[in-house]
Amino acid sequence: MNHDLILIAEDDADIRDMLAFALESAGYRTVAAKDGNTAARILTVAKPVGLITDVRMPALNGMELCQLARRSPEIRDTAILMISSNAHAYDVDAGLGSGADRYLPKPLSPRRLVTEMQDLITNRHPSAR
């Protein structure tokens, strides 16, 4: 597992760039994917310590990506933060039910996103940070 690498799976380039900037400013390395299939390939090869995924993406959605991660022994401990513009209780429940550790609504506060991810990584991998 890459203990300072976070995968950003987001189809909106502006949001991807903002997330990468916030995480890199906090000392993480990032790799980004604009669709779920690309994210799945990166996830299984790079084995990042964290994954930030949008719910709605082309090819493979964020919930399917979470399910894939949780089924794979090599990456099942990845800290997963799901983001979405859908913030109804049933959307949050579905995201958490798919395997996400946390669910944050858009628009995002970069500071809160970094804090949430740091907390998830610390809880899942105490020696990572």
Q: State residue 110's pLDDT score.
A: 92
Q: Which domain CATH number covers 91?
A: 3.40.50.2300
Q: State the Cα angle at 50 between 111 and 10, rounded to 5°.
A: 75
Reported as a single tens digit per residue, the pLDDT across 100-122 is 999 999 888 999 999 999 999 99
* Domain residue limits at 26: 2-124
Number of domains within the chain: 1
0.85 surpassed by pTM: yes
Q: Could you give the CA distance from residue 118 to residue 111 in angstroms, rounded to a whole number?
A: 11
> What's 129's DSSP letter?
-
Q: Which value, to the nearest 10 degrees, does the dihedral of the CA atoms of residues 64, 65, 67, 68 take?
A: 120
Domain membership of residue 17 (yes or no) is yes
Amino acid identity of 129? Answer: R
Domain membership of residue 129 (yes or no) is no
Reported as a single tens digit per residue, the pLDDT across 38-82 is 999 999 999 999 999 999 888 899 999 999 999 999 999 999 999
- Look at residues 38, 76, 29, 42 and name the one whose alpha carbon lies nearest to residue 57: 38
Q: Could you give the CA distance from residue 114 to residue 102 in angstroms, rounded to a whole number?
A: 12
